Homo-oligomer: A and B are copies of this chain.
Amino acid sequence: MDFIGANILSVSQFERGDIDRVFAVADTMVPYARREKVTRVLEGAILGNMFLEPSTRTRLSFGSAFNLLGGTVRETVGITASAMAKGESLYDTARVLSGYSDVICMRHPQEGSVAEFAAASRVPVVNGGDGANEHPTQALLDLYTIRKELEAHGRSLDEFRIAMIGDLKYGRTVHSLCKLLCLFSNVQIVLVSPPELAMPEDVVEKLRAAGHKVSVSDELEASISHVDIVYSTRIQEERFASQEEANLYRGRFRLNREIFTRHAQPNTVIMHPLPRDSRAEANELDTDLNEHPSLAIFRQTDNGLLVRMALFALLLGVEGKVDQYSHEVRWHVRRTPV
B-binding residues in A (CB < 8 A): 4-5, 35, 38-46, 48, 54-57, 60-61, 63-64, 67-68, 70, 72-77, 80-83, 86-89, 91-92, 95-97, 99-102, 122-124, 274-279, 282, 287, 290, 297-298, 301-302, 305, 316-318, 321, 325, 329-338
Contact = CB atoms under 8 A, between A and B. Distances in A.
Contacts of A333: 102
Q: How many chain copies? A: 3
Given A305-B99, A331-B316, A335-B122, A67 B86 contact: no
Nearest to A277: B87
A129 to B, nearest CB: 13
B57 A83 contact: yes
A101 B302 CA distance: 11
Contacts of A86: 275, 277
Given A56-B76, A81-B56, A97-B57, A332 B4 contact: yes
A331 B317 contact: yes
A274 to B, nearest CB: 7
Contacts of A68: 44, 46
A61 B274 CA distance: 32
A97 B42 contact: no
Nearest to A280: B87
Given A41-B331, A91-B278, 11 more contacts: A4-B334, A35-B44, A57-B96, A60-B101, A75-B75, A91-B290, A92-B275, A92-B278, A92-B297, A122-B338, A124-B334
A100 B60 contact: yes
A228 to B, nearest CB: 23
A35 B67 CA distance: 18
Contacts of A321: 330
A38 B43 contact: yes
B76 A60 contact: yes
A4 to B, nearest CB: 5
Nearest to A35: B102
A190 B325 CA distance: 56
